[in-house]
Amino acid sequence: MIVTVDTNVIFAALYSKTGASNRLFHLIIDEKLKLALSPPVYFEYYDVLSRSETLKKLNLSIKEVEDILDLLALLAKKHSIYYLLRPNLIDEKDNLFVECAFASKSEYLITSNVKDFKSGEIKGLDFEIITPGDFYKLWRQQHE
């Protein structure tokens, strides 16, 4: 199963060792889920996670964040985006995740900000926008 994951989910997974985001992160690391990744999404992860205030909150060094992102990049299904799919979301950077989900044929776009993604023009796309908690419950029902 291919999923696209918003930066806030990666942050939450690194911030707390409990919770659905961390469980989802481990499903990716254990290769039970395939993370969809495009260059813009990777660089968004890097931009947010390498900020000094983020590093302090996560209690990680820049090297540790880079190692984590390198591992995600190694495990991910990589996609180049040759077009702009702009659903006019409130946060312009959220469009990157919609493009990646569309190009990768992800089944799910996982985010803690579902309402922000439902604010635009994304009807008719073949992926579901879902929270980490709801996704993890669904995954457990199907796989355990």
Spatial contact of 139 and 21, defined as CB atoms under 8 Å apart? no
Confidence of residue 11 (pLDDT cuts 50, 70, 90): very high
Confidence of residue 116 (pLDDT cuts 50, 70, 90): confident
Spatial contact of 124 and 108, defined as CB atoms under 8 Å apart? no
pLDDT of 27: 97
Homologous superfamily of 2-143 in CATH? 5'-nuclease (3.40.50.1010)
Spatial contact of 2 and 44, defined as CB atoms under 8 Å apart? no
Can you tell me the distance from the alpha carbon of 11 to that of 108, in angstroms, rounded to the nearest whole number? 18
pLDDT of 47: 97
The alpha-helical segments, DSSP class H, found in the chain are 7-15, 20-29, 39-49, 52-58, 62-75, 94-104, 114-117, 132-143
Give 25-55 pLDDT, tens digit per residue: 999 999 999 999 999 999 999 999 999 999 9
pLDDT of 122: 63
Q: Which residue has the higher pLDDT, 100 or 125?
A: 100
Map out the domains of the chain as residue ranges: 2-143
Q: What is the pTM of this model?
A: 0.92
